[in-house]
Amino acid sequence: MTITLTKETVGLEDFITDSPENQEWIDGNLVEKAGMTIRHSKIQSRIARLWGNYLRESGQGGEAYVELPCVTVDRGRRPDVCYLTPELIAQFGNAATLPQSPPLIAEIASPSDAAEDLFAKATEYLESGCVEVWLVFPESNRLLILTQTQTWAFHRPDNVETQIILLGFRTSLSELFD
C-alpha cells in the first residue's frame, strides 16, 4: 500500500489513544495509507468474510477485523485484515488500539508496493506478537505465509490454509482472486 506523509507530527501515545482513520504512525509522523484499488478492497473483504465465516462455523471464537489499529515494536499500524482470539478481545476489546500485533494478519499488496517494504512490515508484525502473516499479491495471483521460522508460497489455483492460527481454515486462491 502506498503511503504518503502528512504534515502532522504526533507521539505514539496520541496514536494509541486516538488513531486517525486510514493512518499509521511511523517514526513520529502520521502516515496516510493510500493506493488501495477496487481489487485490493475486494480481496480484503473476502479474507475477512472467509475468516469470519470459519470462526463461526468452527466454534473457535474470536473475530476478524479490517484496519484494526495496533502497536508494533515501534510503530502504530493498521493491518488490512487480522484475527483476534477470544482472549485478546476479552482483554483489549474496549481499547482504542491493540497494544501488540494481532496473532494472524493479512496484508494485501497494492500495485505500487515494494516487496521489500511488505517483507519489512511482516517482520515488524512478527516481532510484535504476530504468529502468522499472509502477504497477498493480487497482480501475480500469489500468497506467501510467513512465521518466525518458515515461509510458504502459494500460486493460484492452489489451496491455502493457515499454518498456526485458525487451524483447519482452508480456501482456494481462485476464491480470493476471482
The answer on pLDDT for 93 being more than 80 is yes
Measure the CA–CA gap between 57 and 67, rounded to whole angstroms.
23
The total number of structural domains that make up the chain:
1
Higher pLDDT, 57 or 21: 57
Q: Is there a contact between 98 and 84 (Cβ–Cβ < 8 Å)?
A: yes
Provide DSSP, 117-151.
Answer: HHHHHHHHHHTTT--EEEEEEGGGTEEEEE-SS-E
Measure the CA–CA gap between 61 and 33, rounded to whole angstroms.
29
| Assigned domain for 7 exists | no
| Assigned domain for 168 exists | yes
Q: Mapping DSSP to helix (H, G, I), strand (E, B) and coil, where does residue 156 land?
A: coil
Q: Is there a contact between 173 and 154 (Cβ–Cβ < 8 Å)?
A: yes
- For residue 115, what is its C-alpha cell? 516487496
Report pLDDT for 6: 45
| Assigned domain for 75 exists | yes
Report pLDDT for 3: 46
The answer on pLDDT for 170 being more than 60 is yes
Report pLDDT for 9: 65
The answer on pLDDT for 125 being more than 60 is yes
The answer on pLDDT for 8 being more than 80 is no
- Render pLDDT for 37-73 as a digit per residue (tens, 0 to 9): 889 899 999 999 999 999 999 999 999 999 999 999 8
Report pLDDT for 83: 98
Q: Which residues pair with 104 in a beta bridge?
A: 83, 132
Report pLDDT for 16: 78
CATH of the domain at 61: 3.90.1570.10
Higher pLDDT, 174 or 9: 174
Q: Calculate mean pLDDT across residues 137-164.
A: 95
Range of the structural domain that residue 137 is part of: 35-177
